[in-house]
Chains A and B, each alone.
Chain A
Amino acid sequence: MRSATQERRGNSRRTLNGDTIFRWITTFFACSILVILLLMVLEMGSQSLPALEKFGVGFLTGTNWDAVEGTFGALPYLYGSVVSSVLALLLATPLSIGAALFLTEICNKRWGAVVAPVIELLAAIPSVIYGLWGVLVMAPWLQATVQPWLIEHLGFLPFFSGAPYGVSMLAAIFILMIMVIPIITSITREVLLAVPQSQKEAAIALGATRWEMIRMAVLPYGRSGILGAAILGLGRAVGETMAVTMVIGNAPNISLSLLSPAYTMPSVIANEFAEATSNLHSAALMEIGLLLLLMTLVINALARLLIWGVSRKGGAKG
C-alpha cells in the first residue's frame, strides 16, 4: 500500500512536466465524448421520470395523447416512426446496393470517381431543405397524380384507401427514401472497395461472368458491411426530424392506409417541446426522446460493429 502511495506522489511531482499536463488535457477532451454520451442518457432518463412513474409500460401501448387531460400514450408515434422508416429502408436498400455495385464493379473507374462524390455531396443537403422541397413540390405532386391513381387502381387494398391529402405517410416514406439512399450508397461503396482484388480476379479466372463474380466473390465478402450500411440508414430514418415533420401531416393516427397523415417520434418532439407547459407533458416528450435515443444507440452500435468487421478484414487497403 505504502509503495503505491509513494508512487502516486512521484507521479504528482511529475505533473509539473508539460508532457504530463498535455497528456491529461487531451485525455480529458477525448473522454468528453464518453461523458457526452453518458450525460445524454442520464439527463433524458432523469427528465422523463415523472412520465415513467405515472404511465409505466402503458405509455408504449396508449393511443391517446392529450395535453389538456394529461394522458399520454406514445403508440401512434412509435407506429409512425417504425412504419415510415422500415418501408423507406425496404425501398432504398436495393436501389442503393445496385447503384454502389454499378459504381464500383461495372462502370469505368473514372465515372465512379465522379459520381460517388456527387452523391455524397447531395447527402449533405440539410434536411430542412429536403423538407422544403417535399412540402412545396413533392406533396402537391403526390396529391395531384400519384395518390388519385393509387386510389383508383389499388384502392381496394387497405393501404391505398382514403382521400389524397398530399401530406401523408407515403410522402414521409418517399422523402426518407430519397434522404437515406446517398448514405447507404456511399457506405456500401466503401465496403465494396474493401473487397480484395485477388478474390474477384480468382472468380473471373474460373470463368465467371461479371454478375457471377459479383454474386460469388463480392457480395458474400461485403455482406455484413452492406447490412451495416442499411442499418445505419435505418438509424438516420428513425431520427430524421425536419423533413418528415414537414410532409407527414402530423396527425396521431394509426391507420393501415399509407395515404393518411401520420406522426413520428422526432416530429412530435419538434412540434410540441417548446410549447409544453405542464411538467407531465414535457416529461412525456422526454420519454419519447429517451426511447428514440435508446433505439438509435442500439441501431448505430450494431451498424458500426458490422461495418468495422468488414473494413478490418480488408485492412490491407488502409
Chain B
Amino acid sequence: MYSLHKLLWDIRKDPDLADRYRADPDPILDSYGISGEDRTAMRELDFKAMYERGFNPYLIYFCAIQLKVDRADYYAQIRGEKN
C-alpha cells in the first residue's frame, strides 16, 4: 500500500511532480516501484478501483484535484456513474 500512498501524497504536495505525472506517468510509477493492480489503477486514474483496493479516500481525492481532475468528474467516477 505504502508506495502508492506515498505517490498520492507527494503529488498532493508537489505541483511539479503532478505536472510531470500528467505528462508521462510511467517513469514516476517505476521510480516509486508501483506495480500490478495498483499501477493499473493509478496509471488509468481509476479512483474507484483505488478506493476499492483500500487506499485512503482523502489522499485519492486530493491527488485527483492536484492532477486537475474536475471535482464533479471525480465524484461521478467514484460513484460509478462514469468511467
Asked if chains A and B come from one complex, the reply is no
A: which residues have CB within 8 A of B? Answer: none
Chain B contact residues, CB within 8 Å of chain A: none
